[in-house]
Amino acid sequence: MSGSRPAYRKRLLQARRHPLQTVLSLVILALIAWIVWSTAAWLVVGADWSVVTENLPLFAVGSYPEHERWRPLLWLFLLCLMTATTLLQPLISRPWRIHGLALSWAWLAMLPIGLLLLAGGAGLPMVSSRDWGGLTLTVLLTGFSGLLALPLGILLALGRRSNLTLPRHLCRLYIDGLRAVPLIAVLFFGQLLLPLFLPVEIEINRVLRAVVAFALFAAAYVAEDVRGGLQAIPGTQREAAAALGLGPWQIQRLVILPQALRVAVPALTNQAIGLLQNTSLMAILGLVELLGISRSLLANPAYIGRHLETYIWLAGLYWLVCTAMALMARQLERQGKSSATEAIPS
């Protein structure tokens, strides 16, 4: 047996050094060189970034009144500050590090602060939601939809696993139903049909209608992710908690959910990133968020044919925000993990 081993090994190595692999590498190198060359040529000769550089305020805050523009800009600045603080945590020495929980609460506080800054009130003049736009609106839509979708999704996930027949079926119907329809149909429902289901006196603005539609849609997906987390928790956890004399609600709140949510964090992060990307669909339904404002810019004769520059700029922005979200989620996850192990005395 041992005599044949070198022959096996030789063939295993041969697979790696096959001449075809070399040809393949050369073809890929040529392809990469061509892409780099044509991109560089376009950047030097063809590109005209005036559509981006002349409209930076529009991309950031949309058509927000000019003398009040500092408000959304301040909010964006605060968000950048929070992002930097969160991402730099591992580099800060221990006594100065902010506790993960405090950081999470600070993030949560960003939403009402943003709403207050944008809408006005408390001494600030009111600004109609019709004037909100750009990156600010994109982030606001994502934040509030996510905030509503999370508790709703958790409730749906618990309902789907409940012992009660009717709630279980209702939750299943909701989750499967919403996961079967396209998001744009749900958003269309939110914009055009939702008002028909509300009393005449109640009038809600377009941004709020969009948030409600996004939240109702995202909740179905959150529910499935949370259910995945719940399934990962062994039944012995429930039994142990019950043996300690905890009631059914206490078991869920103190034992099952904290563990299940921790398992679900990576999936939920993906949902949040998907939600941010999907807010671009509101451009079709007439909100001037990041993509919407770009569409109206490209309709301007001054920027005719500047699609590529605009789209590359937008892709870069979306990529940046998505990457920041993913990194921060990983950060919070790691901190949560370390604080969880700290809590258990060894």
Partner 1 sequence: MKWKRSRWLELALVVVVLTLVGILVNNLAVNLIRTGLGLSFEWLWQPAGFALSEHTLPYQPGDSTAWALLVSWLNSLRVIACSIVLATVLGVGAGAARRSLNPLLRQLAGLYVGLIRQIPLLLQLLFWYFVAFLGLPSQPFAPIGTLISLSNQGVGILGLNLSVEFSAVLVGLSVFTGAAIAEVVRGGLDSVPRGQWEAFRSLGINEGLGLRRVVLPQALPAILPALSSQYLNLAKNSTLAIAVGYADLYAVSDTAITQTGRAIEGFLILLLSFLALNLLINGGMQVLNRIVVHPAQRT
Under the rule (CB under 8 A), what is the footprint of partner 1?
Answer: 8-9, 11-12, 14-16, 18, 21, 24-25, 28-29, 31-32, 163-167, 170, 180-185, 188-189, 192-193, 195-200, 273, 277-278, 280-281, 283-284, 291, 298, 307-308, 311, 314-315, 318-319, 322-323
Q: 176 or 258: whose CB is closer to partner 1? A: 176
Six-digit token pair at 259? 């563990």
We find the least distance from the C-beta atom of residue 195 to partner 1, in angstroms, to be 8
Which one, 31 or 56, has the nearer CB to partner 1?
31
* CA 60 to each of CA 91, 126, 159, 193: distance values in angstroms, whole numbers, following the listed order: 30, 19, 40, 30
Contact (CB, 8 A) for 265 and 333: yes
Minimum distance of partner 1 from residue 196's CB (angstroms): 5
The rounded distance, in Å, linking the Cα atoms of 75 and 52 is: 21
Tell me how far apart the alpha carbons of residues 191 and 188 are, in angstroms, rounded to a whole number. Answer: 5
What is the nearest approach in angstroms of partner 1 to the Cβ of residue 284?
A: 6
92 vs 90: CA distance, rounded Å? 6
Q: Report how far residue 57's alpha carbon sits from residue 60's, in angstroms, rounded to the nearest whole number.
A: 5
- CA pair distance 158, 252, nearest whole angstrom: 9
**Residue 5 Cβ vs partner 1, minimum distance, rounded to whole Å:** 10
| Closer residue to partner 1, CB minimum distance, 11 or 67 | 11
Q: Which residue lies nearer to partner 1 by CB, 24 or 124?
A: 24
Q: Which long-range CB contacts under 8 A does 44-52 form with residues at least 24 apart?
A: 47/308, 47/309, 48/306, 48/309, 49/309, 49/313, 50/303, 50/306, 51/297, 51/298, 51/303, 51/306, 51/309, 51/310, 52/309, 52/310, 52/313
Residue closer to partner 1 by CB (options 124, 284) is: 284
Q: How far is the CB of 65 from partner 1 (least distance, A)?
A: 28
CB of 173 to partner 1, least distance (A): 11
Secondary structure of residue 121 in the 3-state scheme = strand
E-state strands within the chain: none
User: Are 153 and 229 spatial neighbours (Cβ–Cβ below 8 Å)?
Assistant: no
12/45 with CB nearer partner 1: 12
**Taking the complex as a whole, how short is the minimal distance between the CB of residue 311 and partner 1, in angstroms?**
5
Residue number with CB closer to partner 1 (100 or 143): 143
| Shortest spacing between CB 340 and partner 1, in angstroms | 27
Cβ closer to partner 1: 126 or 200? Answer: 200
- What the block records as the tokens of 300 is 């301007």
Q: Which two tokens stand for residue 279?
A: 């807010």
List residues bridging with 289 in a β-sheet.
134
